[in-house]
Amino acid sequence: MKLAILSDIHANLEALEAVLADAAKRLPKDRELVTLGDMVGYGADPEAVAKTLRGLAVRAVLGNHEVGVLNPGTRGMFNPVALEAVLWTADNISAETEAWLASLPKSLSLGPCRLVHGLPPDDTFRYLFEAGRPELARLMSGLAEPISFVGHTHVLKLLSLDQDQHLHVRKLDQGEHRLDRRARHMVNAGAVGQPRDGDPRAKYLIFDQDDWTVEAVFVPYDNRKAAAKILSAGLPAVFADRLIRHEPSFS
């Protein structure tokens, strides 16, 4: 079984369609398609993205943007610009999409994998970089699953905890990476629809459960079209700018 792992699509239909087309060429028919949350927010096509994912019967978990749309009590956790996107999204999805989002869990266990948007085991809001090394080592040691896939930061990264409890952290470059079966791992899947790494291409992962390899796939798409739709929708220009600029952004 191979997993195609998508995160942080952020209502970017052009990026999602490009990734799905790429995955269809690379992966066998018995693949599993999963998404790590933040399918909506920032971008101009939340309804079309949600409808596409529902039609594919993806395995999905909640991201903080889905929680913000569904639960007004959490909206104080968003900065003012992000909150504007949350409110716009809430006004631009159907009742069917809202019900689908509300049905999603905060985390999933799938074979050897824990799937969550933020920090395992099931935090949708906390960033990976907010946890120190001792906490991460304790967390990874305590999980039932030996490998976790997370999103939220929009930056690809691989954390590995070896048998001596030493934590190794490195950037996840494009291409295939073999994981040590004796170690425990946490992999940040980057972002399909809102890159923050200075590279405008859409990113997703392929995890081979037989070979224990993770491939980081970078997919070009019509990012300028997606950016223009954000501006046409009246959403903050910063969300369009992030799709076309080539400098890292962590705001």
Instruction: Judge whether 105 lies within some domain.
Output: yes
Look at residue 9 and tell me if it is in a domain. Answer: yes
Q: Residue 176: which residues within 8 A CB-CB, separation 6 or more? A: 213, 214, 215
Would you say residue 251 lies in a domain? no
Residue 186 included in any domain: yes
Task: Tell me, yes or no, whether 120 lies in a domain.
Answer: yes
What is the SS3 assignment for 40?
Answer: coil
Query: Which range marks the domain in which residue 54 is found?
Result: 2-244
pTM: 0.94
- The answer to whether residue 230 sits within a structural domain is yes
Whichever domain contains 9, its CATH number is 3.60.21.10
The arrangement of strands across the sheet holding 147-150 comes to 107-110, 113-116, 147-150, 184-189, 156-161, 167-171
Q: pLDDT tens, 185-238?
A: 999 999 999 988 889 999 999 999 999 999 999 999 999 999 999 999 999 999
Joined together, the tokens standing for residue 81 give: 């610009």
Q: How far is CA 101 from the centre of its chain?
A: 15
13-26 tens-digit pLDDT: 999 999 999 999 98
What tens-digit pLDDT sequence spans the chain (251 residues)?
899 999 999 999 999 999 999 999 988 776 789 999 999 999 999 999 999 999 998 999 999 999 999 999 999 999 999 999 999 999 999 999 999 999 999 999 999 999 999 999 999 999 999 999 999 999 999 999 999 999 999 999 999 999 999 999 999 999 999 999 999 999 999 999 998 888 999 999 999 999 999 999 999 999 999 999 999 999 999 999 999 876 454 44
Burial 176-212 (b: 16+ CB within 10 A, else e): ebebeeebbbbbbbbbbbbbbbeebbbbbbbbbeeeb
* Total structural domains within the chain: 1
Name, in order, each residue with C-beta under 8 angstroms of 7's C-beta and a sequence gap of 6 or more: 35, 36, 37, 38, 117, 149, 150, 151, 152, 188, 189, 190, 191, 192, 204
